[in-house]
Amino acid sequence: MKKKILLATALVAIFAACKQADNKKEGLQGDILITNMDTTVNPAQDFFDFANGGWLKKNPIPGDETGWGIGQLVNKELYERKLKINQDAASKKDAKGVEQQIGDFWKAGMDTVSIEKMGLDPLKSGLAKINAVSNIAGLMSVAAELHKMGVGVFFDEGISQDAMNSDVMSFQLWQGGLGLPNRDYYFKTDERTTKIRNAYPGYISKVFQLAGNDTATAAKKATAIVALETQLAKASRKLEDLRDPYKNYNKMSVAGLQKTAPGVDWNRTFLEIGLPKLDTVIIGQPEFYKALNEVVTKESLQTLKDYMSFHLVNDFAPYLSKAFVDAKFDFYNKTIRGAQEQRPRWKRVLDAEEGAMGEALGQLFAKEYFNEKAKARYEEMVERVRLAYKARIEKLDWMGDSTKQKALTKLAGIKKKVGYPDKWKDFSAMKITPTSYVQNIIASREWWNQYNINKLGKPVDRDEWDMTPQTYNAYYNPSNNEIVLPAGQFTVPGYRDEQLDDALVYGYAAASTIGHEITHGFDDEGRQFDEKGNLHSWWTKEDETKFTQRAQLLVNQFNNIVALDTMHLNGKASLGENLADLGGILIGLDAFKQTDAYKKGEKINGHTPLQRFFLGYSLGWLYQNRKEQLASQILTDVHAPAKFRVNGPFPNVPEFYEAFNVKQGDKMYLADSLRVKLW
């Protein structure tokens, strides 16, 4: 499992269709855009429900899921493919290399008899080290060992590109150390969040009881741990405040860090994590480290040790015996996210394998399921969308010539990565055996820790991927000025490309994925990086002001959306994704307008190419979530819920009004003066 990439990159779930063999069962048969629709809904009143409501009514959320939609259907296909790869590898008696690692990881993860017999034994040596700590120096020494195992106690850290010099890999420190999803869970007073916060001590207590403590002792430890984490949360920045790359970039010497938090021997801590001797670090939130110093130096040693013991067990609970697995599921998946039952074990093992050695699996996946022809098709689509964006930037009337030329240079410099890497990572040093599931997870995390540490002092590998080929997702990385589009995102189960008309494909591929990711290079955060991936101001002050003013309209629009009960969306925190959604639609549509399918204007099943473009985009956001998951997403995610990724941007698109005869008085209507006119 790789440590958190500290320079935020924009990620977005993307398009898919559904497995043809399951069409009848899933409610998708024939023309999927038509069969998904709810024609009792007026598209001018609620386009999301019009486009997707028919399918959503027929397909309730399964008990082992917190949400259900197009992504899960695509992932169903991906799971089946990964399952076959694992089973085939495990069946080979003389498997070597990647196949040996995949097969043995699978065997260990599925060996529930051995896992139950071991109980907490795989972690006993780590717990013993924590228990033996007698001073702060010893405490931070063990904390460093936990960090090597991927357990981020007290703070977060990792290796990433220097935002000010993208050719340099730097060591970066971040706020962290919390057991709840983020700082807001410790302070918000609404009923749902309060319920979660009140349940948290009970979960911590349960973990200690499973580890052998009596009820009273476990409860006492839990109360103290929550109080400790609340101190860390108080010093943590809010979600929206983490989007400012300048305010979250604070380079200082290690000696300067030592003055900020003198209670920790930072040089020793870094060396014990495995880092070479450092001169400088980049700190995201210096005030957090001042608060951490207070916690480490003033909190009782026993509470600090209990805090580390809890996080060690909590982090590895999914790979331990059933009692630990169930306890963690009940709190994190059921209480926080609303799941009713666990996913089958084979899926959970595949998920663990994805984090541990996903690119190793990806070598086998890409060979079997994503050929050169498919790779070339989507590489060509990227260029068509890039050309459409170029034309749009050239015509902007609000941007000055100096900024415009630099924007065009950056656009031309965006590197595209499609399908799978040209060069694979070498996992041969990762020791995977068929005998211990937890030990395999530890081995993989220690491998990733060393892999990333080895990057320090070396040239940035701009060909590296931070997603695996089988991932159903995509991202823009501002430090590399690149868009990365894994093979998994192009999975359309059961449908051949030739069965999908251009209008549909340009909506859910060119707009919601390719155009979206390219636009991230010019959103509120991405626009602050130049064509080489360096953080510095290349906009004129006048153009920056105009951008901010125009983008504020989108902040206002989303702030006004009530998504659940009385919970409003956070327009500032989600601005980057909302800008990318809108930009993706605009340039995806421009690219579509250059196709023969658009120019001919022939209807398919009663809908024009323009109408099918909007329906195709909406297909990519065919989701429904449990209320608990929706509430968690609003608090922790920079992506708006799926429904508002359709109904939110569409009123800003002139062609939408034309396509569906939207008029003043309709809910999807937005006065011209309130529409965002950025790209």
pLDDT tens, position by position, 364-380: 998 888 878 878 888 99
CB 610 within 8 A of CB 659: yes
Residue whose pair of structure tokens reads 């920790």 in the numeric block: 264
In angstroms, the CA 126 to CA 129 distance is 5
Q: What is the pLDDT of residues 529-554, one digit of tens each?
A: 999 999 999 999 999 999 999 999 99
Please report the pLDDT score of residue 496 as a whole number. Answer: 64
Half-sphere exposure of 214 (CA within 13 A, CB side): 2
Give the least confident one: 10-24, 28-42, 424-438: 10-24
Rounded to the nearest 5 degrees, what angle is found at the Cα of 292, between the Cα atoms of 221 and 234? 80
Q: Which two tokens stand for residue 653?
A: 């698109």
108, pLDDT greater than 80 = yes
Dist. CA 208–CA 350, nearest whole Å: 28
Residue 402 clears pLDDT 50, i.e. is over it: yes
pLDDT band at 491 (very low <50, low <70, confident <90, very high): confident
**SS3 category, 321:** coil
In the chain, the amino acid numbered 534 is: N
Distance CA 183, CA 636 (A): 9
Mean pLDDT, residues 467-495 taken together? 89
- The token duo for 112 is 């529930």
pLDDT at 8: 35
Mean pLDDT of the chain: 93
Mean pLDDT computed over 92-116: 96
Portion of the chain with pLDDT greater than 90, in percent: 89
Distance CA 518, CA 383 (A): 11
Tokens representing residue 620 in the block: 């990519």
Given the DSSP bridges, would you call strands 280-283 and 165-174 parallel, antiparallel or unpaired?
A: parallel
Spatial CA neighbour of 139 closest among 299, 286, 27, 356: 299
| Single-letter amino acid code for the residue at 428 | S
What strands lie across the sheet with 165-174, from one edge to the other?
156-162, 165-174, 280-283, 250-253
159-212: per-residue pLDDT in tens?
A: 999 999 999 999 999 999 999 999 999 999 999 999 999 999 999 999 999 999
Length of the chain as a residue count: 679
Report DSSP letters for 608-668, one per residue.
Answer: -HHHHHHHHHHHTT-EEE-HHHHHHHHHH-SSPPTTHHHHTTGGG-HHHHHHHT--TTSTT
Give pLDDT tens digits for 132-154.
999 999 999 999 999 999 999 99
pLDDT one-digit tens code per residue, 633-678: 999 999 999 999 999 999 999 999 999 999 999 999 999 999 999 9
Closest CA to 492 of 71, 11, 12: 71
pLDDT at residue 21 tops 60 = no
**Residue partners of 2: CB distance under 8 A and separation at least 6:** 355, 448, 452, 466
> Mean pLDDT throughout 443-448?
98
Instruction: Tell me what the mean pLDDT of segment 512-539 comes to.
Output: 96
Q: Average of pLDDT values for 20-40? A: 65
Closest to 416 in 3D by CA, of 445, 386, 455: 386
Range from 9-13, 86-90, 244-248 carrying the lowest mean pLDDT: 9-13
Instruction: List the one residue out of 275, 178, 152 whose CA is nearest residue 235.
Output: 178
Tokens of 260: 């900020």
pLDDT of residue 492: 65
Question: Residue 12 — very low, low, confident or very high, per pLDDT cuts 50/70/90?
Answer: very low
Q: Token pair of 93, please?
A: 């008696």
Confidence of residue 494 (pLDDT cuts 50, 70, 90): low
Give me the half-sphere count of Cα atoms (radius 13 Å) on the Cβ side of residue 219: 4
Instruction: Report the pLDDT value the prediction gives residue 376, as an integer from 0 to 100.
Output: 87
Q: Enter the pTM of the model.
A: 0.86
Would the CA dihedral through 643, 487, 348, 637 be positive or negative?
negative
Distances (CA, A) of 443 to 1, 123, 381, 451: 10, 13, 40, 12
What are 596-639's pLDDT values in tens digits?
999 999 999 999 999 999 999 999 999 999 999 999 999 999 99
Angle separating helix axes 437-453 and 97-110, nearest 10 degrees:
140
Please give the CATH superfamily to which domain 10-59+371-419+472-674 belongs. Collagenase (Catalytic Domain) (3.40.390.10)
Secondary structure element (H or E) that encloses residue 172, with its range: strand 165-174
- For the chain, the structural domain boundaries read 10-59+371-419+472-674, 120-319
What does the pLDDT read at residue 17?
29
Residue 451 has pLDDT above 60, yes or no: yes
Predicted pLDDT of residue 367: 86
- Determine the pLDDT at residue 224: 98
> In 277-304, which positions are buried (b, 16+ CB within 10 angstroms) versus exposed (e)?
ebeebbbbbeebbebbeebbeeeeeebb
DSSP 189-235: -SHHHHHHHHHHHHHHHHHHHHTT--HHHHHHHHHHHHHHHHHHHHT
Q: Which CATH class is domain 120-319?
A: mainly alpha
Q: Give the pair of three-digit tokens for residue 420.
A: 């799978």
Residue 30: its pLDDT value, please?
76
Tell me the three state secondary structure of residue 281. strand
